[in-house]
Amino acid sequence: MLLAVDIGNSNISIGVFDSKRLITDWRLSTDRNKTCDEYGLMIRQLFAMDGIQLSSVTHSAVSSVVPPITPTWEKALRKYVKCDVLIIGTGVKTGMELRYENPRDVGADRIVGAVAAYEKYGGPCIIVDFGTATTFDAVSASGQYLGGAIAPGIGISLEALFQRAAKLPRIEIISPRQVIGRNTVAAMQSGIVYGFAGQVDYIVTKMKAELGQSSHVIATGGLANLIAAETPCIDKVDQLLVLDGIRIVWERNQQPPRKSTTDQ
C-alpha cells in the first residue's frame, strides 16, 4: 500500500492507496511545532481508528509546500511506518514538462494537481485550488504545465477583514441567501462567496482565451464545493485531485522490474 501525504500551509491531507484505489483519507491541521514522534503517533492512531494495519504500508510519497516540517514528516514516516519515502521535488519524474521560467518556483501541490488533472480529465485543462492561497493552473492539450495565477485564499481574506477592520467580526463561510446582505455578517458572506466566484469566472475566462481551446475546469480544496455552486465555469469538483497526483507521480518514479534470464 502507498501512504500519500500532502502538506499544505493550513492543512495536511493523508490518503492510503491500495494500488489505484483510495481506501481512506484524513485531514489534519498543519502544526509546525509538532515533533516527529507526535506526527508518528497521530499516524498510528488514524490507522488504528480505521482498522488498517500500519505494516501493510510499504511506500510513502510526500508533497509539501512547508519546507520546515518536510524533514519532520520524512523522519516520522521512516520511524513509525517503516517504509521508503519519496519527497516530490526537484529531480523527481512527474511526466509533465514544466514551461515555467523557473520550475523550482512551482509548488509541489500545484504540479501534482496538474499531473492528476491531465491524467484524469485530459487537456487542455485549468485547475482551481481553494487552499491558503487560491491558485489557478493551466495545462496544455499536449500535457505541458504552462503556469497560472495566485490570489489570496478565502481564509486569508476573511482574516484580513477581521484584523484590519475593527467593527467586522469573524464569520462562518456559508452560501448567502442573496447578494444584498441585510446585516454585517450576511454582507460579508455575500462579498466573500460572490466575490470569489466572480474572481474565478474572470480568471478562468481569460485563461481559456489564452489557451485558445475548450478547456475542462477542475476545482479542488476545502471550499471548492461552496464556490463551484455559484459559478458555471467549474466543470468538476475533485477533492482527491492532489492525493491522486501524488500517487501518479510516485508510480512514475518506480523502477520497472528487471527481466530474469529466463524471461529473455
Bridge partners for 236 per DSSP: 218
| pLDDT at 264 (0 to 100) | 38
Q: Which residue has the cell 496544455?
A: 140
pLDDT in tens, 1-33: 999 999 999 999 999 999 999 999 999 999 999
Amino acid, res. 235? D
Note whether 2-87 and 103-249 share their fold. yes
Residue 260: is its pLDDT beyond 60? no
**For residues 254 and 68, what is the distance between their CA atoms, to the nearest angstrom?**
27
| pLDDT at 111 (0 to 100) | 96
**For residues 112 and 206, what is the distance between their CA atoms, to the nearest angstrom?**
23
Between β-strands 11-18 and 2-7, what pairing exists: parallel, antiparallel or unpaired?
antiparallel
Residue 262's pLDDT band, with cuts at 50, 70 and 90, is: very low
% residues pLDDT > 90 (the chain): 82
Q: Please, are residues 27 and 71 in contact by the beta-carbon 8 Å criterion?
A: no
Residue 90's pLDDT band, with cuts at 50, 70 and 90, is: confident
Sheet containing 59-64: give its strands across: 21-29, 11-18, 2-7, 59-64, 84-87
**For residues 6 and 254, what is the distance between their CA atoms, to the nearest angstrom?**
19
Half-sphere exposure of 222 (CA within 13 A, CB side): 18
Q: What CATH code would you report for 2-87?
A: 3.30.420.40
**Nine cell digits for residue 160:** 484580513
Tell me if residue 109 is catalytic: yes
Residues 6+ apart with CB under 8 A from 42: 28, 34
Ranges of each domain in the chain? 2-87, 103-249
pLDDT in tens, 91-140: 899 999 999 999 889 999 999 999 999 999 999 999 999 999 999 999 99
Answer CATH for 103-249 from 3.30.420.40, 3.20.20.70, 3.40.1440.10, 3.30.230.10: 3.30.420.40
Among residues 84, 105, 109, 201, the one annotated as catalytic is 109
